[in-house]
Amino acid sequence: MNIKQISVKKLDDTAILPVYSSACAAGADLYSLPSAGEVTIPGGKTVFVHTGVAMAIPDGYVGLVCARSGLACKSGLAPANKVGVIDSDYRGEIMVALHNHGDTDRTVSGGDRVAQLLIMPVEQAVFNVVDDLDDTQRGEGGFGSTGV
């Protein structure tokens, strides 16, 4: 396994560093800022949850803020933008735009696991305008589905 070194700055003494829950976990848990106390997220609404950490993601990598399956399935709480993108040149606080997909208010306590962070390699592309694209078996069929 390729282990990256990530510099993390605690913006608050109570901030909890991201933690991998198991040796093979793809995502590190992100925690709500303990000193922020409880945050109530009304049904159908989105609230920014502070983590109290900033980090220097290496060039050529991106941080992806993803839902925690247990929180999403059991409480209906997941990142509003589905997957948050942290570019390698961003140095501000990592916050989770947590959306309540239910109709009942939900509360997140300080120190709760609110999302997971994946560090992934990134490639940039050059976009070239062409007159035609190569043919494939699927072609233009099945937008939004493979038709199966």
Query: What would the DSSP string read from start to end of 9-60?
Result: EESSTT----EESSTT-SSEEEE--GGG--EEE-TT-EEEEE--EEEEPPTT
**CA end-to-end span of the chain:** 36
| DSSP-based three-state secondary structure for 100 | strand
Mean pLDDT by 10 residues, the chain (148 residues): 89 98 95 96 96 97 93 88 95 97 95 96 96 88 63
Q: What are phi and psi of 7, to 5 degrees?
A: -80, 125
If one looks up domain 7-121 in CATH, what number appears?
Answer: 2.70.40.10
pLDDT of residue 119: 97
